[in-house]
Amino acid sequence: MIKILFVCHGNICRSPMAEYMMKDMVRYRQLEEQFYIESAGVASDNVGMEMQEGAKNKLRSVGVPYDNHRTARQMTREDYKNFDYVICMDENNRKELYNLFGGDPEKKIHLLLDFTEREEKNIPDPWFTNDFDDTYDDMLVGISGLLKALREQDGALSRETPAAAPAPRTEPGRVSAPRTEPGRAQTPRSLDKMAGCR
């Protein structure tokens, strides 16, 4: 199972949107049994708060299901151990994680837009821009690139349904039941070559 943690500053806008978008994308491709996907924040400011209304409204408008009862949490050292990939929304998130964990010894931390050909790698925080449309569009490109990189890497997603091509905005799907906590970390798969990371 591939374990992915999406991370932004407070876990109420970008990272939960990315979590539910990725879940919807892999569910539509019938790959949900091969993934465990979650999100967290680098800061404790918003712990216990619900996802921001603008984020909920955007996901609802494009038919991406989400858990209305989830609350924000802060990333922990256990998360770094348990997840294969930690995907940040901007460079500040990545720097804050380096400070928290003393760098990235296992090379798990990446920017979401590293998996695209875009020169700009930061996804602006809609908490400040109030532009959830652009945030969604940026993340859709990034998540598609991430899934493509994983698929090309080692055939780990070989059981993907061939016909499952449309973007998740047209496929609402159902909200899946909460999964169990991540188990022990597997040997991390390096995406450095595909992502153009350090």
User: Does 125 qualify as catalytic in the annotation?
Assistant: yes
CA-nearest of 125, 136, 146 to 66 is: 136
User: Does 14 qualify as catalytic in the annotation?
Assistant: yes
User: Does 184 qualify as catalytic in the annotation?
Assistant: no
Does pTM surpass 0.95?
no
Which two tokens mark 78? Answer: 């256990």
6: CATH:
3.40.50.2300
Catalytic residue among 13, 14, 90, 114: 14
Domain that holds residue 128: 2-195
d(C-alpha 160, C-alpha 78), whole Å: 30
Tally of structural domains, the chain: 1
CA-nearest of 151, 128, 173, 181 to 20 is: 173
Catalytic residue among 24, 79, 84, 125: 125
pLDDT along the chain (198 residues), means of 10: 97 98 96 96 95 97 94 97 98 96 95 95 94 96 96 67 42 35 35 42
